[in-house]
Chains A and B, each alone.
Chain A
């Protein structure tokens, strides 16, 4: 069973906060849910499915469904694959809708790592002593930044990728973020600014990293008959894919991601090719995340990502592949250290023609959103979704 065209995204909301000292995590989830339902023109009573991931407090859906007073839920999914979860949820929601299990699925994300002073990228991250890989890795001090840095180093070694090429990804994101009033970093930066910023973990500089922000967001996936009944413009879910990528029993390869497989699934289901995509939301925890993903999704040949992203090729209006026109995680928002949900939101804005006029892609008919979770190449989730305008 394919799900092409059998579900729609009807409402979206990005919480405007970037530092939420006065709000709880549950409250941020609920405020995001309210915003997305209002955007869709739906009510709490209409929601019959709820999806969340590891950022939801307590017992995930069991706690949040109760907190928000969702009384009609008959389908749930709490798949947690890190920051890629919410892109994966688009696919799972579309499948559930297509199977007739639900008609209005609400997906939320929220968190407050900034208010809680979390050393997101630079403190060694222990997935729990019971995780079987932890004894053989955690002791050596893997952090989010140095794990991605090791991928960047290997990519540079195999393909000649340079720090300056990676820097172009941040430069493009900053060109977009200047137009987003909610973005954390609105100043346009240059390649020189990026490579001159302090080294965090070789070869990644501070400006190769995304922001750390509080906040959240939500979106609503609905059945075709619901979409047809709403005044708001909905976008069609055309194809979805998901894939794990891991240590592969010791055959570690950090030069590619699970996007190789999730992207193929999504393109096949949608019946389109990378060259058909008008706009792409690419997960951007770090510049290297974008570069490898662009290659793995087939926007360019493997190893040619450096040349592809250089010279402004990702900047809307001038480049061949406009990406992350909200400023992305690199400049706008990376709520709860999970950038997957905001990737979906900007893709929907582009398809509705509601991105900022300075970055809106002309006649945007097909968009892609890609999520990355966990740690690149070693214990990662990859999820891709392809969305289209109703007439696509």
Chain B
């Protein structure tokens, strides 16, 4: 069964550098420069202080499944979920290169990059 095609993420001036890093194989997490806290999703304004003092830190690419669902009413089927990264944030993703039936909450997963329809690489996860 072929995998679901991931549509191109809508890039804009605020998230352009995030997607460029993905193309270089790096998942960059935004971090508030005032509080030192990592947050998700990427933005240039801190959701903790509303300041523009936002830096980035590269994710180790490891975490565990917070929750997931297999979309049965779709051809091809796909597995969507939220992963809690070891850095402490939870992000949406697809689980790829695996038997969907083997997925479980709490399963350790690792980062892989998958090409979207545009060729842009996007972060996905697979069992570690």
Q: Which residue of A lies closest to B116 (CB)?
A: A139
Cβ-defined contact, B80 with A198, below 8 A: no
Cβ-defined contact, B72 with A200, below 8 A: yes
- Docked Cα-Cα span, A198 to B73, in Å, equals 9
Kindly list chain A residues whose C-beta atoms are within 8 Å of the C-beta of B68: 150, 153
- Docked Cα-Cα span, A252 to B94, in Å, equals 16
User: Given that A134-B10, A137-B92 are known contacts, is A250 also in contact with B38, CB under 8 Å in the complex?
Assistant: yes
User: Given that A135-B9, A146-B71 are known contacts, is A252 also in contact with B90, CB under 8 Å in the complex?
Assistant: yes
- Which of A137, A201, A251 touches B69 (beta carbons < 8 Å)? A201
Cβ-defined contact, B41 with A247, below 8 A: yes
Closest CB of chain A to B48's CB: distance in Å?
7
Judged by a CB distance under 8 angstroms, whether A254 is at the interface is: yes
Judged by a CB distance under 8 angstroms, whether A289 is at the interface is: no
Interface bracket on A: 35 or more
Cβ-defined contact, A150 with B80, below 8 A: yes
Closest CB of chain B to A293's CB: distance in Å?
18
Cβ-defined contact, A150 with B81, below 8 A: yes
Closest CB of chain A to B86's CB: distance in Å?
13
Cβ-defined contact, B6 with A249, below 8 A: no
- Docked Cα-Cα span, A132 to B13, in Å, equals 11
Cβ-defined contact, B90 with A201, below 8 A: no
User: Given that A150-B68, A251-B90 are known contacts, is A200 also in contact with B80, CB under 8 Å in the complex?
Assistant: no
Judged by a CB distance under 8 angstroms, whether B53 is at the interface is: no
Kindly list chain A residues whose C-beta atoms are within 8 Å of the C-beta of B74: 122, 141
- Docked Cα-Cα span, A204 to B91, in Å, equals 22
Digit string of B36-68 for contact with A (CB within 8 Å is 1, else 0)? Answer: 001111110001100000000000000000111
- Which of A122, A135, A154 touches B10 (beta carbons < 8 Å)? A135
Judged by a CB distance under 8 angstroms, whether B98 is at the interface is: no
Kindly list chain B residues whose C-beta atoms are within 8 Å of the C-beta of A74: none
Judged by a CB distance under 8 angstroms, whether B14 is at the interface is: yes
- Which of B43, B69, B88, B94 touches A149 (beta carbons < 8 Å)? B69
Q: Name, among A133, A134, A149, A252, the residue most crowded by chain B CB atoms within 10 Å (CB to CB).
A: A252
Judged by a CB distance under 8 angstroms, whether B1 is at the interface is: no
Cβ-defined contact, B122 with A139, below 8 A: yes
Kindly list chain A residues whose C-beta atoms are within 8 Å of the C-beta of B90: 250-252
Q: Which residue of A lies closest to B4 (CB)?
A: A141
Cβ-defined contact, B71 with A140, below 8 A: no
Kindly list chain B residues whose C-beta atoms are within 8 Å of the C-beta of A132: 14, 41, 43
- Which of B42, B71, B78 touches A136 (beta carbons < 8 Å)? B42
Judged by a CB distance under 8 angstroms, whether B23 is at the interface is: no
Cβ-defined contact, A138 with B7, below 8 A: yes
Judged by a CB distance under 8 angstroms, whether A142 is at the interface is: yes
Cβ-defined contact, B43 with A201, below 8 A: no
Cβ-defined contact, A141 with B94, below 8 A: yes
Cβ-defined contact, B73 with A133, below 8 A: no
8 Å CB interface, A173-227 against B = 198-204
8 Å CB interface, A280-308 against B = none
Kindly list chain A residues whose C-beta atoms are within 8 Å of the C-beta of B7: 138-139
Cβ-defined contact, B72 with A153, below 8 A: no
- Docked Cα-Cα span, A142 to B41, in Å, equals 16
Kindly list chain A residues whose C-beta atoms are within 8 Å of the C-beta of B70: 201-202
Judged by a CB distance under 8 angstroms, whether B105 is at the interface is: yes
Closest CB of chain B to A17's CB: distance in Å?
26
Closest CB of chain B to A24's CB: distance in Å?
30
Cβ-defined contact, B15 with A146, below 8 A: no
Q: Which residue of B lies closest to A137 (CB)?
A: B92
Kindly list chain A residues whose C-beta atoms are within 8 Å of the C-beta of B66: 154, 252, 254
- Docked Cα-Cα span, A123 to B70, in Å, equals 14
Kindly list chain B residues whose C-beta atoms are within 8 Å of the C-beta of A122: 71, 73-74
Judged by a CB distance under 8 angstroms, whether A143 is at the interface is: yes
Given A198-B72, A201-B71, 16 new contacts (CB under 8 A): A122-B74, A129-B10, A137-B92, A139-B7, A140-B92, A140-B93, A141-B4, A145-B71, A149-B69, A153-B105, A154-B105, A201-B72, A204-B69, A249-B40, A250-B89, A254-B66
Could you list 23 examples of A-B contacts with CB < 8 Å? Answer: A122-B71, A130-B12, A132-B43, A133-B41, A135-B9, A135-B11, A137-B41, A137-B92, A140-B92, A141-B78, A141-B80, A141-B94, A150-B80, A150-B81, A151-B67, A157-B106, A201-B73, A202-B72, A204-B69, A251-B89, A252-B90, A254-B66, A254-B82
A residues whose Cβ falls under 8 Å from a Cβ of B? 122, 129-130, 132-143, 145-146, 149-151, 153-154, 157, 198-204, 247, 249-252, 254
